[in-house]
Structure 1
Amino acid sequence: MFAEIAFLLYLGHLLADYPFQTDHQAAHKAGCGRTGWAANITHAATHVLTCTLLLAIGSVLLGWQLPLLPAVVAVLWIGGTHGFIDRRWPVAAWMRIARQSGWAAHGGAAHVDQTAHVLALTLAALFLAA
């Protein structure tokens, strides 16, 4: 069951991060003030809704009996961690600590960002499958 949950959560992540993310969200989700926080929260909410929908579809089609409270915790974890990572400073801080400034200057932050998101999704899938 872990593999199916992880796949659906990853698919939800890709849908919410690419086709469902608006230009406004992408441009402002790391910004300060009301505009930045609104963009960040609506983008994170898109992740919560998309992953919730895919878990519900998986439950119906694959006959899962996911308990409601752990499922809610998992999708809120996904939304919360996604919003945190997308503030961008956590990725920048990690790359400074890991001495990856050269890689950061050449597009590496996007890879570290996506790896952090996949780690959070994997933890959520492990939690649900346990």
Structure 2
Amino acid sequence: MFAEIAFLLYVGHLLADYPFQTDHQAAHKAGCGRKGWMANVAHASTHVLICGLLLAVGSMALGWHLPLLPAIAVVLWIGVTHGFIDRRWPVAGWMRIARQQGWAAHGGAAHVDQTAHVLALTLAALALSV
């Protein structure tokens, strides 16, 4: 069941990060102030809704009996971690600590960002599969 859950959460992540993320969210989700936080929360909420929907559909289609509270906790975890990672300073901080400033200057931050998201999704899938 882990593989199926992880796959659905990853598809949900891709949907929320690309076709369902607005230009406004992409441009402002890491910004300071109300505008930045509103864009970040809206984008993270999209992840919560899409991943929650895919888990519900997967449960019905595959006959899973996912416990409600852990499923809700996992979806909230996805939203919170996604919003945190997308503030951008955690990725920049990691790349500074890991001495990856050169790679960051040449597009590496996007890869580290996506790796952090996939790690959070994997932990969510593991938690729900136990």
Give the TM-score normalised by structure 2.
1.00
Q: Distance in 1 between matches of 2:113 and 2:27?
A: 15
Q: Structure 2 matches for 1:108-127, cutoff 5 A? A: 108-127=108-127
The aligned residue for residue 70 of structure 1 is 70
Q: Distance in 1 between matches of 2:61 and 2:105?
A: 44
Q: Distance in 1 between matches of 2:105 and 2:46?
A: 29
Which deviations, in whole Å up to 9, do the C-alpha atoms of 1:41-61 show, x marking residues without a partner?
A: 000000000000000000000
Runs (5+) with no aligned partner, structure 2: none
Q: Distance in 1 between matches of 2:63 and 2:128?
A: 14
Give the TM-score normalised by structure 1.
1.00
How far 1:22 moved relative to its partner? 0.2
Matched residue SS, 1:124: helix
Runs (5+) with no aligned partner, structure 1: none
The aligned residue for residue 81 of structure 1 is 81
Matched residue SS, 1:41: helix
Q: Distance in 1 between matches of 2:22 and 2:104?
A: 24
Q: Distance in 2 between matches of 1:75 and 1:103?
A: 31
Matched residue SS, 2:83: helix
Aligned residue pairs total 130
Q: CA RMSD in A?
A: 0.2
The aligned residue for residue 25 of structure 1 is 25
Q: Distance in 1 between matches of 2:42 and 2:33?
A: 14
Matched residue SS, 1:87: coil
Q: Indicate the percent of aligned positions where both proteins have the same amino acid.
A: 84
Matched residue SS, 2:42: helix
How far 1:118 moved relative to its partner? 0.1
Q: Distance in 2 between matches of 1:126 and 1:18?
A: 24
> Which consecutive segments of 4 or more residues in structure 1 shift more than 4 A?
none
